[in-house]
Amino acid sequence: MQNSVEDSFSALLTEYRYWNPDKENKVQKPTYGTNGYLTHTYQEKYTGSASKEYLQATFQQHMWGGGTYEYLGPVGNNASYIFGANFGNKNGIGVVIDPAKESWNPLMDDLVSRNPDGTLEWCGPYAKDKNAANGTGGWPGNNEIATNSTQINYNGSTGMRGKGNVYGSCYTAFANHFWWDDDTDRPYAWLINFSTEGITTSHISMQISVMNTQQSFFSPRFWCAEWSLTDSQAAKDDSQWNLIGEYTIPDVSVWANTLYSSCVAYKSIDFELPQEILGHENVYIRLRPTSDLCSDGSDYANARLNQSASGAALAAEHASSLEYFAIRYNK
């Protein structure tokens, strides 16, 4: 076993694990390396319409934060339970940040927490001016947090303590509600750009982690991954997009109505990428619905997006999140 991931048989070409916003260019920068960007096609550049664009105000992104469910560290709010009353890591949500190796920018200072000595370690719900507690008090003087402390998996709601759940305001995933244009009968997509210049390998692959995250169903069920040397989303250029693979996205489990197809965590998928993707300055991958089929909560795929309660295909019900994206290759 090698001591460092840098000594592994494989290398990361690009990776997205949490928000790293490039405010000037209105895209997400990778969280590992500096290769390319991540965005969403519900924007004027790809729709041709100023009315068909969403831009998150604070960080100027064509998406918003998605919730995640895998807090690393003590998960519990009772000293009698197996995880105790939360010893050890008190401020994180399970993402390690190393400014010396990550694709760092000053905007990320507002998305991170700090250790007691002031060093950056965890991306999470505590901004730099909130110390590492519940927004006002800083760190306690002992090693144990009281069982009634809001620092236990804190996200502003005492009802979520000890459940490993962090809200979208923690910026640990990428989310969007806009997936289908009823006017054109065409999808919107996650769009990722990267370069493969200078890469020679016998194996290159892509990893994604996805989930439909609203608890009211009506999010796209059937998806595909495609690659191209153009970022055009125009129908006339569809022939330039090459299929990588098809997949389905499950809905998050709903307390009141859980289907057999529901999932309580993100679905991770690995795709083999073709050798033709190598040796290009700009490669694009898009992750998009193949239809507007969805679930209304009574079956796996028995409804259309525009049949949701609000009666619009782009209603708030349709949230689908991308928690992780990476390209890896054998050295």
Q: What is the pLDDT of residue 192?
A: 98
Stretch 63-89: mean pLDDT: 57
Cα 270–chain centre separation: 16
What average pLDDT does the chain have? 79
Angle at 310 between CA 309 and CA 312, to 5 degrees: 115
Q: Where are the beta strands (DSSP E) in 36-151?
A: 37-40, 64-65, 112-114, 120-123
Determine the straight-line distance between the first and last CA of the chain, rounded to whole angstroms.
17
Contact assessment for residue 60 and residue 67, using Cβ atoms and an 8 Å cutoff: no
Around Cβ 183, how many Cβ atoms within 10 Å? 10
What is the β-pairing status of strands 27-28 and 112-114?
unpaired
CA distances 91 to 64, 73, 87, 229, Å, are: 22, 10, 11, 42
The DSSP symbol for 280 reads -
What is the β-pairing status of strands 303-304 and 293-294?
antiparallel
pLDDT category at 216 given cuts 50, 70, 90 is confident
pLDDT category at 110 given cuts 50, 70, 90 is low
Three-class DSSP labels, 83-97: CCCCECCCCCCCCEC
List residues bridging with 87 in a β-sheet: 144
pLDDT category at 102 given cuts 50, 70, 90 is low
Q: Which residue has the higher pLDDT, 137 or 117?
A: 117
9-66+173-330: CATH number? 2.60.120
Element housing 157 (H / E) = none
The DSSP symbol for 250 reads P
Q: What is the pLDDT of residue 168?
A: 78
| Assigned token pair, 157 | 């709601």
Residue at token pair 């919730």: 67
Stretch 103-113: mean pLDDT: 68
Contact assessment for residue 44 and residue 62, using Cβ atoms and an 8 Å cutoff: no
CA distances 173 to 40, 86, 282, 304, 325, Å, are: 13, 24, 24, 25, 10
